[in-house]
Amino acid sequence: MNTPLDQQLKTWADRTAAPPEHLDSLANRVRKEIVRERIHAVTRGHQAHWHHILYVVAGAAAAFVITFLWFSSNHGEASDGACMASAAASADISTDRLEAAARLVGEMNRLFDENWRWVTESNGDMNMGIARLQGGVGSDTQSMIVRVSLAAKENGGQPWHQVWHSDIVLRSEEAVEITPNHAHENSLAFWVLPLANGSLQVDANISLTSPLRFSSRDSTIVQDGQPSELASFTRGTTHYKLFQTVKLLAADGKESV
């Protein structure tokens, strides 16, 4: 045979390569399995078949990492429906959860480099957003966790209890839009800027359809790690308070102090 080896290999690869529809089918099967495990990966801007497959497989790996870190860090966390001494307690972030968020940042950086946008957990639903950021991630960008929580109590002196929450791990100075719950059209949008005095400017747009219909759009200055009240309102015989907490995470994946 006089055919060069590289040409033979190319011919063999072309003959045995999986067709595009097969790769699409495989990607769909992997994505469905991720959703079945309550993990949903949102990907954008990856059109090449193999590149897309690699991101889906990395998403599956991230699913296991997120599940392990998040649901093993429930110690000290207020569960939905649990009674609390105050409404603001629903927005407190436990040390275990902060440490899990910091480790999660390190794992997402390892799996996706700069191409992860956010990770969220809300009432047991896990989601993540994967997309390239035009211009890349800024050198002074900081990772953080944002908690949004809704507390409620009935008239007549009943204790406060948490009815909904969402924890979001994201980066500063990046506008993100999130749909945290699979079964509902709840939507969250954030942009956070750390200020020179240690406080943070938070632009938030929160729209809920469950457990009740409510929307809030605010631009506030908050203290790192301190719950801030965004709204207080009454529906029927139930009083509600919406809180937000932002906590910076150090660049090396450890909790900021």
Q: What's the pLDDT tens digit per position in 94-124?
A: 988 898 899 889 888 888 887 889 988 888 7
* DSSP code string of 62-111: HHHHHHHHHHT--TTPPPTT-EESSGGGGG---HHHHHHHHHHHHHHHHH
Place of tokens 């099967």: 29
Are 119 and 66 within 8 A, CB to CB? yes
User: Which is nearest to 138 in space by CA: 251, 252, 55, 256?
Assistant: 251
pLDDT of residue 158: 80
- Judging by DSSP bridges, how do beta strands 39-44 and 125-131 pair with one another? parallel
CA 22/CA 3 separation, integer angstroms? 30
pTM score of the predicted model: 0.71
Angle, in degrees to the nearest 10, between helices 95-112 and 49-71? 160
> Which one is predicted more confidently, 55 or 133?
133
pLDDT level of residue 247 (50, 70, 90 thresholds): very high
pLDDT at 78 over 60: no
